[in-house]
């Protein structure tokens, strides 16, 4: 084999290898990702994680993260039905369910979701008075979930969870609302105290009626108190038995007869 023939074979092998690498190449999609395969700018299919062999030219692979995402929507100021402004921040937990819809239906799916969630929040707060907003965090979050989940589906996303993180009133309203809550608590305390005193009085009245109908219970209760008490002196005046009283009367009569 002459040098010229060897050079031609080497050149042919190199060209074959370059042609093979141009038409056949291996790509790897990492775990927890999906690969969007485009050929000449046209979407072809979605590749799962793993290694794939692509045959042909003009292929482009775009990777999409499928892991859960957490977004904080902070400082959204909304107005209640009675005109009170309130600042609310809430958290969205979601993941990409359809990578192609996620990339194709919006230039910025994240911003679109934020705007839709804010609109749903405004509608929910606008239907409530301020007094009912603060204790209804969980209820408001549950009300928002179906609307936000439906909006996310249009962008290939799946809502995992939504919850309200902070709910704050403006400075002057906060002090007014704090005073109102304090007044309510004081009123509840006074009401409970009055109920307790009323119950105690009813118990005393029932006890007095019971003792009035059963005088022996007073003696039993007194004996019980004496048994449970130590270091105290009790002076009792017990009524005389009928026999003892009769003997006392006889003794008085005999003494008067003797004196006569």
Asked if residue 126 and residue 91 are part of one domain, the reply reads yes
CATH of the domain at 74: 3.30.479.30
Asked if residue 158 and residue 96 are part of one domain, the reply reads yes
Share above pLDDT 70 across residues of the chain, in percent, rounded to a whole number:
66
CB 99 within 8 A of CB 34: yes
Number of domains in the chain: 3
Asked if residue 202 and residue 144 are part of one domain, the reply reads no
User: How confident is the model at residue 157, as a pLDDT?
Assistant: 93
Asked if residue 84 and residue 142 are part of one domain, the reply reads yes
Asked if residue 160 and residue 73 are part of one domain, the reply reads yes
> What tens digit of pLDDT does each residue of 179-224 get?
655 566 677 777 777 788 788 787 777 777 776 777 666 666 666 6
pTM value is 0.57
Asked if residue 152 and residue 76 are part of one domain, the reply reads yes
Any domain includes 246 = no
Any domain includes 247 = no
CA distances from 29 to 39, 40, 41 (A): 17, 20, 19
User: If you search the block for the tokens 């690969």, which residue do you land on?
Assistant: 35
Mean pLDDT of the chain: 76
Q: Quote the domain boundaries for residue 140.
A: 69-169
């Amino acid at each position: 084999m002459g040098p010229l023939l060897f050079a031609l074979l080497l050149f042919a092998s190199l060209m074959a290898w370059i042609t093979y690498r141009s038409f056949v190449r291996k790509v790897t999609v990492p775990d927890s990702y999906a690969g969007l395969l485009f050929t000449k700018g046209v979407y072809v299919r979605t590749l799962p994680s793993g290694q794939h062999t692509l045959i042909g030219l003009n292929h482009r692979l775009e990777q999409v993260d499928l892991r859960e995402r957490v977004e904080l929507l902070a400082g959204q100021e909304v107005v209640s039905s009675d005109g009170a402004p309130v600042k609310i921040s809430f958290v969205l937990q979601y993941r990409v369910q359809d990578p192609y819809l996620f990339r194709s239906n919006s230039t910025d799916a994240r911003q679109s979701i934020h705007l839709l969630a804010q609109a749903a929040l405004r509608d929910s707060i606008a239907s409530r008075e301020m007094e009912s907003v603060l204790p209804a965090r969980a209820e408001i979050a549950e009300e928002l979930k179906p609307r936000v989940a439906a909006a996310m589906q249009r962008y290939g996303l799946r809502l995992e969870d939504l919850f309200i993180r902070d709910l704050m009133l403006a400075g002057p309203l906060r002090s007014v609302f704090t005073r109102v809550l304090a007044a309510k608590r004081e009123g509840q305390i006074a009401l409970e105290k009055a109920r307790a005193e009323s119950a105690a009085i009813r118990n005393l009245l029932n006890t007095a009626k019971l003792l009035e109908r059963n005088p022996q219970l007073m003696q039993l209760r007194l004996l019980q108190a004496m048994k449970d008490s130590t270091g105290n002196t009790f002076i009792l005046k017990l009524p005389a038995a009928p026999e003892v009283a009769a003997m006392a009367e006889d003794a008085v009569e005999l003494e008067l007869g003797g004196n006569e």
